[in-house]
Amino acid sequence: MKRKLAAGAVLSATALLTGVIQVSTAAQATPTPTVQAQAAQHRAGLIALANGQAGPLTGALGLGGQEALVAKDAVVDADGTRHLRFERTYAGLPVLGGDLVVHQAADGAVKAVDRAVAAQITVPSLTPKIPADQAAAQASGAVRSTVGIAADKDESPLTEVRRSGAAQLVVWAADGSPRLAYRTTVEGVRADGTPSSRLLVTDAATGRVLSGHEQVQTASGTGTGVFVGTVPLTTTQSGSSYQLKDASRGGQSTSDLKGRTSGSGTLLTDTDNAWGDGTAANRQSAAVDAQFGAAATWDYYKNTFGRNGIKNNGVGATSRVHYGRNYVNAFWNDSCFCMTYGDGTNNTNPLTALDVAGHEMTHGVTSATAGLNYSGESGGLNEATSDIFGTMVEWSANLPADKPDYLIGEEIDINGDGTPLRYMDKPSKDGGSADYWSSSVGGLDVHYSSGVGNHFFYLLAEGSGARTINGVAYDSPTSNGSTVTGIGRDKAAAIWYRALTVYFTSTTTYKTARAGTLSAAADLYGAGSAEYSAVAAAWSGVNVN
């Protein structure tokens, strides 16, 4: 994927080649700490606003006496309309699947509520039949039983389960039958070196696994060297050398793991501020791609939606390069707030393509907003969201070295024959993804069920039928034989982002995603607009009615 500078920001190519990078306009100047502090203070104020409404809303929404709301996020429209996102607790315990979004008029009147589960929560007993240490041991045993078996089709099998965290008592409500449960994190390592951090929810009465999901979300492939070509970088001078650290984007930085599989690595430095030479043999080259990918993702969300970093808190992520040995993978991990890249086959093919960066870092955005569960239809929507915005980062950057398209992973050549990992115009061309919704979609691997969301987005952006875009030929069909007219990728992305941040919850399905994106289209363009009608037509085109 690619990165585009803010309008008016131009970096001197001559200065770049000689090692002195200068920003020609104030648009790219390093924000002062006061500006960053103001942004953080503004968000804190919105969260405080939401928490201030939590008590009154608990009663107004008809929640039970042992239920409470805890603010997670807040969005306030220009007209004062508020969209307050809450997690729910029951008797002080976190409720998994109890999240909701309250939509208020400017005067505080509740207009609508989107809930992950609709019913008032009641739990028969708050006394677990299984002690916490036994629950942790059972969770670890459940993961150990999968050693040698891949959880998802694009993941390698577990070879080691290292340890289990303490089991936390929670209320499980995601399936509509609230019960007391334990939440346990079990860590391990996969055969290809990928770290594993599986979050398991087990019934506190029986020990049965209710849910399990891998928190380290990966994108597999083989690299072909430097992907972005010669690009501008914002760095930090420290004494007589420079650090690969960007103060203008929340301090995000890139470090060298030097073949290790743990730790934060060593921050990359350079004496002349001219980084890498475009070859994998130069350890800085992969770091250039990684740092640029992080900047591209930051800039897209900032310039398009005003989002101040992945968590919207002004904090930049860390990128780690040269992970492990012969590691043919890359992954985002929310727990370390970091993006990690292997060096590929023979340590000569770093997986630092921009679409990998945009896709994986978007998992962080989803985690900070809707929190879409990584299984079933919500898991497909989670993956589709990353494909959608990874693609938008690519179009925003518009680099000559990697022309933007609606192909996923086209640069990393995961199949070894030049074909992409996924296709948005007709997802089934990859041999496994779903073009249209059916009742069996939720049972697919999330990377294949995402095809429905990817296809919807392509139809909404570009329309159905055959066409050539930016030199790539596409031919997108519809399930009902209808003709869909696209509204353009920018409007399509705006609708999806608003739905993600304002209407989607952890248990959103394709049916409720249709409702959420229609609400988003009505908010942005009007309920009688062509954009609203296009959203409905595109969903019908993928059999979501």
Note whether 317 and 301 are within 8 A (CB). no
DSSP 327: -
Cα atoms found within 13 Å of the Cα of residue 209, Cβ hemisphere only: 17
Whether 307 contacts 42, CB under 8 Å: no
Q: Spell 263-283 as b/e; 16+ CB within 10 A means b.
A: eebeebbbeebbbbebebeee
Report how far residue 282's alpha carbon sits from residue 196's, in angstroms, rounded to the nearest whole number. 29
Cα of 399 vs its chain's centroid, Å: 22
Please tell me which residue in 87, 187, 360, 377 is annotated as part of the active site.
360
**Tokens 């009663």 -> residue:** 59
Mapping DSSP onto H, E and C, the string for 243-297 reads ECEEHHHCCEEEEECCCCCCCCCEECEECCCCCCCCCCCCHHHHHHHHHHHHHHH
Catalytic (active site) residue 455: no
Is 73 in a helix, a strand, or coil?
strand
**CA–CA distances in Å: residue 44 to residues 48, 312, 416:** 6, 11, 48
* 360: annotated active-site residue: yes
For the CA atoms of the chain, what is the radius of gyration? 23
Q: Which of 447, 455, 462, 531 is catalytic?
A: 447
Which active-site residues does the annotation give? 360, 447
